Amino acid sequence: MPPVSRPFQRAGPWAFALLLASAWVTPAFAQTDPLPSWNDGPAKQAIVAFVRATTDKASPTFVPPEARIATFDQDGTLWVEHPLYSQIMYCLERVPTVVKAKPELAKVEPFKTVLSGNREALSKLSLKDLETIAAATLTGMAVDAFHAEVKTWLETAKDPRWKRPYTELTYLPMQELLRYLRASGYKTYIVTGGGQEFVRVYAERVYGIPPEQVVGTAGGTKYGYDKEGRPFLTKEPKLLLNDNDAGKPEGIQLMIGRRPYAAFGNSTGDRQMLEYTKAGDGARLSMIVLHDDAKREYSYGPAQGLPPTKVGAFPQLLHDEAKKQGWIVISMKNDWKRIFDFE
Amino acid sequence: MPPVSRPFQRAGPWAFALLLASAWVTPAFAQTDPLPSWNDGPAKQAIVAFVRATTDKASPTFVPPEARIATFDQDGTLWVEHPLYSQIMYCLERVPTVVKAKPELAKVEPFKTVLSGNREALSKLSLKDLETIAAATLTGMAVDAFHAEVKTWLETAKDPRWKRPYTELTYLPMQELLRYLRASGYKTYIVTGGGQEFVRVYAERVYGIPPEQVVGTAGGTKYGYDKEGRPFLTKEPKLLLNDNDAGKPEGIQLMIGRRPYAAFGNSTGDRQMLEYTKAGDGARLSMIVLHDDAKREYSYGPAQGLPPTKVGAFPQLLHDEAKKQGWIVISMKNDWKRIFDFE
């Protein structure tokens, strides 16, 4: 028997009877819409139908609570990814500190370009340049020190368009979806191409997702001792898991060990996770967030008749796959009443 | 308000009042001993004191439920590891099937020796030989096929001494401890040098630990498609995590992302996990199971005045560390009333 709060006890046993009677007539859950920021279109209907199909014991596709796994890409699926992934902003903004500790880097590319602040030169940095910057800013320090640095940065850094902390740029409808799935017995995971340790710093506060449920691109750590002989872990520049494309189902196997029943993504890096999820037996839900709302957020990708984008690429191919495999497209423009909590 | 079962409703509101009154006087939990197979010695007292110190809101070392992580080594800590780890038995017993599929291996070492069944030759296999056998029997197949093979083996294979399935050779006191910690809000993890996918096959049924809470020595998987175009994962002979020694805290960081509050081990491979756990702030519990009961289980290690063992090595060093760092030794002989559930 769970503890009962004192006010009811003081009110005497009759209060219980009343409370119970009213609860049976109109269950609290049925009274409230778990997805108030969603318009009543095919996306919302698909979510509600999926939850019913997998949580109603009378359903032929009922899933026992312990197997209820839902995975979410982060960038572009749970929060804004344009004009650049937040973690890339972090890496670029950390460069001056890194150069301060190692002044010889100031004259070396790509650090020289980053320090110049020249936007045009910055936009031309290659993937290899970005990897060099990532290795210099994300590895070589104690895990705890890294967490502290990211936390400090998140408290002050602001998105250039909304002038708000990045952690406020999460999509309200997706936050509702996370809560709805959890209330329905699902364990919600982030499965991101972003850095696992980076996302862990804020995932619990921002999404209600604990560190152990964040799967991301992961580097190794090295166990060692400080001067006082206390053990600690150092972030190593050794890639264990590139959590993009085929790396997503591979990362899911490594970290979760079972196939999700629902998966949510928005770009080519999510394709394999979506098809792997949908290929499971019983009721499975694969959804893609389409960025088609230039006014309230962004609009990008060939599906909008716009030029291809490096960040959050969503080519025609993915549209065709979605149709073919029964993935459901979430139109930000049509399916979402509100996009941000601060609106 | 959580649902209330119908019998109480029929009995009318007074039943509630009575129930609540009695619950307040004697909480159900206090009436039953959560660790009935443990003698009332220092080990049991340390466990109960630790749980109180971390779950009582009035305690200065209270730990919020989401941070309550406890990690358990498996072989020698949760179940029998002598004379050989169960997974090694699996690998050896799989060799004939592997050779059937690849007859050319019959003439190649170490497969030739395994097929000969010569016990003396078998006992002389090197670590490299065992690795070759492990690679041949644990990789190269679909993850699902591997799970099915392990499941089938577990249903028929028997321990040579007790003539029982390996999965019955778990220690009852440790099973009680797992349940007690979970009832106290702890998430229980296995952190084993054994194969992550191997242990996941039975961990939920045997220990109540779901696949996502099994951290083990882990290889990579490769995403691909079968003839019908359905995606599946293949186990690769690529080592991602050697979950022994320093690999245990490193694996904990990778898979869990926070330091445990309690850790349980029994041999040198657990040393770093135990010291890493104990080095955290607040109340932390590190315990080692000592195999000192030759009659009911096994007795091994120099601490017993016995020759060193390859399986579950527990050298004098670990004894000294335990004393120095405040780890608590669990004597199977003195601390456990019963060892197995079937006794």
Instruction: Please count the residues of chain A.
Output: 343
Model confidence, pTM = 0.90
Chain B contact for A249 (CB, 8 A cutoff): yes
What pLDDT is attached to residue B109? 94
Condensed to tens digits (0 to 9), the pLDDT of residues A149-176 reads 999 999 999 999 999 999 999 999 999 9
At residue A308 the predicted structure's pLDDT band, cuts being 50, 70 and 90, is low
* Residue A241: strand, helix, or coil: strand
- Residue A340's Cβ-count burial label (10 Å; 0-12, 13-18, 19+) is buried
| Lowest mean pLDDT, pick from A221-230, B8-17, B68-77, B201-210 | B8-17
Is the pLDDT score of A309 beyond 90?
no
- Closest-CA distance, A156 to chain B, in angstroms, reads 24
Interval B36-48 mean pLDDT: 97
For A68, how many CA atoms within 13 A lie in the half-sphere containing its CB?
22
Interval B2-20 mean pLDDT: 40
Chain A residue closest to B212 (CA)?
A: A256
Chain A contact for B236 (CB, 8 A cutoff): no
Of B17 and B301, the structure prediction assigns the larger pLDDT to B301
What pLDDT is attached to residue A124? 87
Tell me the C-alpha distance between A338 and A321, whole Å: 28
Cβ–Cβ of B254/A210 closer than 8 Å? no
Residue B261: both structure tokens together:
């509050």
Is the pLDDT score of B29 beyond 60?
no
Distance in angstroms between the alpha carbons of the first and the last residue of chain B: 42
* Residue B259: strand, helix, or coil: coil
In A80-226, which ranges are continuous DSSP H helix? 86-101, 111-116, 119-123, 127-138, 143-156, 172-183, 196-207
Cβ–Cβ of B255/A255 closer than 8 Å? yes
Cβ–Cβ of B19/A1 closer than 8 Å? yes
Condensed to tens digits (0 to 9), the pLDDT of residues A189-211 reads 999 999 999 999 999 999 999 99
Peptide bond just before A42 cis, omega within 30 deg: no
| Lowest mean pLDDT, pick from A132-146, B1-15, B67-81 | B1-15
Neighbours of B192 (CB within 10 A): 30
| Lowest mean pLDDT, pick from A18-32, A124-138, A302-316, B269-283 | A18-32
Chain A contact for B131 (CB, 8 A cutoff): no
At residue A306 the predicted structure's pLDDT band, cuts being 50, 70 and 90, is low
Q: Which of B2, B13, B222 sits opposite A16 (nearest CB)?
A: B13
Tell me the C-alpha distance between B292 and A116, whole Å: 67
Q: How far is CA B78 from CA B168, B189, B340, in A?
A: 11, 12, 11
Condensed to tens digits (0 to 9), the pLDDT of residues A115-126 reads 998 888 888 888
Condensed to tens digits (0 to 9), the pLDDT of residues B250-263 reads 999 999 999 999 99
Residues 185-224 of chain B with CB under 8 A from chain A are: 187, 196-197, 200, 204, 210-212, 214, 218, 220-223
What pLDDT is attached to residue A6? 38
Residues 70-129 of chain A with CB under 8 A from chain B are: none
At residue B25 the predicted structure's pLDDT band, cuts being 50, 70 and 90, is very low
Residues in B closer than 8 angstroms to A197, CB to CB, are 257
Tell me the C-alpha distance between A307 and B76, whole Å: 60
Residues in A closer than 8 angstroms to B18, CB to CB, are none
Condensed to tens digits (0 to 9), the pLDDT of residues A253-277 reads 999 999 999 999 999 999 999 999 9
Q: How far is CA B86 from CA A24, A243, B118, B311, in A?
A: 51, 32, 19, 11
At residue B16 the predicted structure's pLDDT band, cuts being 50, 70 and 90, is very low
* Residue A55: strand, helix, or coil: helix
Is the pLDDT score of B198 beyond 50?
yes
Q: At what angle do helices A316-325 and A271-278 cross, to 10 degrees?
A: 10
Identify the CA nearest to A270 among candidates A249, A290, A293, A297: A249
At residue B305 the predicted structure's pLDDT band, cuts being 50, 70 and 90, is low
Interval B220-224 mean pLDDT: 98
Interface test with B, best of A139, A190, A250 (most B CBs within 10 A): A250
Beta-bridged to residue A216, according to DSSP, are A192
Interface test with A, best of B188, B252, B253, B261 (most A CBs within 10 A): B253
Neighbours of A300 (CB within 10 A): 23
Chain A contact for B11 (CB, 8 A cutoff): no
Q: Which of A84-88, A282-286, B82-86 shows the highest mean pLDDT?
A: A282-286
Complex ipTM: 0.89
Instruction: Return the HEC string of B4-18.
Output: CCHHHHHCCHHHHHH
Q: Which of B14, B240, B257 sits opposite A240 (nearest CB)?
A: B240
What pLDDT is attached to residue A28? 46
What's chain B's average pLDDT?
90
Residues in A closer than 8 angstroms to B2, CB to CB, are 2
Interval B282-301 mean pLDDT: 93
What pLDDT is attached to residue B8? 35
Interval A100-104 mean pLDDT: 94
The DSSP output letter for A12 is -
